[in-house]
Structures are given as structure tokens and as C-alpha cells.
Amino acid sequence: MHVQTILSANRSLILFIALLNACLKDACPQTPPGSTNVTRKVLVTLQAGEAIIEAESCFPLGMNNDQLYLVTTADGKYYIYENGQRTGPYTNLENIDIKSCSSNRSGNDCSAYTTETAGMDPELISMSESGQYLIKQGGKTYGPYMYIKELHVWPDKSGFVAITLDAAMKSYLVTSEGKNTALEGDAEKLHFSAVGKQYVFVVKENPNLNMDILNMDFSKMTTEEMMKFAKEQEEKAKQAGPPKAWVYVSQGSKLGPFDPQSFYTDNPTFTRTGGDNWIMVRDNALYVNGALVKKFEDTDLDICKIWLSKDGKRYAIVNWDKIVFSDGSAYPYPVKVANQESNGKIIMKWVSLENERDLVLYSREI
């Protein structure tokens, strides 16, 4: 019995060593740890020294799974991968009839959701007898306003939100519900959710805009009066401190004050996948609906590379060297990224070039 036990143990050890050697030879599954819902498929293995020309290639991403079509180069020559076959070499690209992709060849790798503003539609905007602007919507007239900076009408035409300016260039938030809120500074671009009537935007103080100064006639002031006025303005600036910024959200919520340098055109914004949940990046930390989600140390956040789940509770982030998920799993850097919705779930799909040779298609839920 003792000998049988030793032989059994030896067989187990031999089996373990065999499996270990197989893994070292790249025969083991390469699914990252903790990733139970990911699919991985090697699409093609390139030749040594071969590189993909991305601008001329089509990748199988999106809803319709475009056929893989690669244009590559090696040693000054060009090759085509199509229908599982590699053809070439070609001496130059002019000799190749480059295939057109059924979807946007360059893709849309930005996660931010953008909408067009209503513009100066005569059915929405008209002029009063005094030369000011009026908004006509839903059988009602709103205004007059000296200037309309931005106007957005709800998809179902039931209402609108606008940013207006008065004669003193002061900004106001105006809505069809009767809101007419004076803002603390210059309003940045309005951002809207893809599925509803939610909006978010930033207001930044503008210390350089002082209508009292612009309206003053300094030619009528003595040198002493101008010096006194300049000193008073300097004291006011010291008391006010550095410029501030606020984040305005639907239903009148306001967050802040913040450092204005934390924000730019698409920050904060909504994502194409996150429904009515908005995101914000400050100090390399991710906020969802104004609440801190995580401060990142080894991942540089780009507002255009953050995807949310429909409920806003999970995320996927593309960094310079990888794509990471809120469950802690990470995968090689994606050459192309796409997403689709399936049964209320957001599925991320991406193509990575691994070991400089294997082009791999990944798919998983956020």
C-alpha cells in the first residue's frame, strides 16, 4: 500500500510538470484571472516583423461583426489578409484595391455621448420688436433674451433647456418648466444623456469680465481716482480668491465649488453606454453622478475612454497600455474598441495585438 501511494504521488507530480511545461509553451488558456465572462479568439497570427496598417484595415467590431480585413507591411512590402488568406507581397499601396469597410473604418473609440444643438431654427427662435430673442416651444413663448448661447429641445418635444445671456453678458439657465437661474460665471457646453432629459454642464467664474469697468469712462477720472479704483479692484480680487467652478445637473442640483482647471469641453459628460448616469474626472479620480468611485494611481483617466454599465455601477477604462474593468481584471491594450447592448447589458468588444503577432478579439460585459 505504501508503494502504491508513492507511485500515485509520483504520477501526480509528473502530470503537474507536464501541464506546467505546456503552459510555458503558450498552450494554456490565456483568459486573465477573475474574468469568467470574457471570450477570446485569435483572429490571425502575423509573420515575424510584420505590422498592421490600421488606417487601411477593417476590424470585426460592433453589431454586425465586419469580416476581418488587414493591410500589413513588412520589409518595405505590403500584404492583405482576407477570408483567412494572406496575399502579397505588393510593392506599394497604389497597386492594391483597398476594400471599403461596412462600418466607419477608423471606428468611434470615444465613449462620450454628444448631441447637436437646435441652432437658430426659425420654428423655435424668433425676434421681438425690440430686437431680442424669443423661444417658441410647446405653444408657449419664452423671453425676451439678449442672446441665446445654446438651446436643446427634448427628443419628445415636451420641453427644452437653454443658456441665455443678458445685456451685461451674464449667463442664465432657462428651462420650459419656468426656471430662470442666474449663473455665477460663463456656462460651458451643455451635455445630455442618450436616453432621457438629463443634462450636466460647468459654470466657470470669469474674473476678467467686469461690466462696471467696461462701462466706466476713465477719461473723466483723475489720476488719484483711477489709482483708488485700481486698488479697490485689487482688494476685491484678493478677497474673492482664485476663480471657482460649479457643476450644474438636471432638477437644479449644483455641485462645487471646484478648481476650474479640473474641467474641459467634455468633462463632465454622459457616456454612450451609461444611460442617465454622468461621469466626471478630477485629480485622476472617477466620479459617477458626482460621487467618488475610485482614485486611480497607475491608470491615466481620459474622459473619452470611460464606459459605464446601464445602471452606472460598473465601468471599463482604456489606458495607454491596457483596458481595465471595475472587477479588477485587465487586458492588453485595445487597437480598436466598440460596444453594443444585449438584453440590457453593455458588451465591450475590442481587438488587441498580443506578443506583436497575435491579433485577438475579446468580448465581455462591463
Q: For 110-155, how does the pLDDT look when each residue is reduced to its tens digit (9 = 90+)?
A: 899 987 665 667 788 999 999 999 999 989 999 999 999 999 998 8
Each residue of 274-293: b (16+ CB within 10 Å) or e? bbbbbbbbbeeebbbbeeeb
Average pLDDT over residues 286-312: 95
Higher pLDDT, 226 or 146: 146
Q: What is the dihedral of CA 294, 300, 305, 307, to 10 degrees?
A: -20
In this predicted structure, what is the pLDDT of residue 352?
93
pLDDT over 70 at 263, yes or no: yes
Rg for the chain, CA atoms, rounded: 29
- Determine the Cα–Cα distance for residues 187 and 158; give it in Å rounded to an integer: 24
pLDDT of res. 101 = 78
Collect all residues with Cβ–Cβ distance below 8 Å to 164 and sequence separation of at least 6: 133, 143, 145, 146, 147, 148, 149, 171, 172, 174
Q: What is the dihedral of CA 190, 192, 197, 199, to 10 degrees?
A: -50
Report the pLDDT averaged over residues 296-312.
93
Give one word for 226, left, alpha or beta, with left for phi > 0 and alpha for psi -120 to 50.
Answer: alpha
In this prediction, residue 5 carries a pLDDT of: 37
Q: Give the neighbor-by-neighbor strand order of the sheet with 51-52.
A: 51-52, 69-74, 77-82, 85-90
Q: Distance between CA 184 and CA 171 in Å, rounded?
A: 8
Burial 216-231, CB ≥16 within 10 A → b, else e: eeeeeeeeeeeeeeee
Of residues 241 and 330, more confidently modeled: 330
Contact 318, 305 (CB under 8 A): yes
**Cα–Cα distance between 269 and 189 in angstroms, integer?**
10
How many Å apart are CA 144 and CA 62, to the nearest integer?
A: 46
The pTM score is: 0.78
Residue 70 CA to residue 158 CA, distance in Å, equals 47
pLDDT of residue 128: 93
In whole angstroms, give the CA distance from residue 248 to residue 203. Answer: 7
Distance CA 332, CA 324 (A): 9
Q: What is the pLDDT of residue 23?
A: 38
pLDDT digits (tens, 9 = 90+) for 50-101: 999 988 888 877 544 457 899 999 999 999 998 889 999 999 988 788 888 7
Query: Mean pLDDT, to the nearest integer, of 263-275?
Result: 93
What are 286's strand-pairing partners?
Answer: 281, 294
Q: Which helix (H) or strand (E) holds 278?
A: strand 278-282
Average pLDDT, the chain: 83
User: What is the C-alpha separation between 263 and 247, in angstroms, rounded?
Assistant: 10
Q: Which pLDDT value is given to residue 104?
A: 56
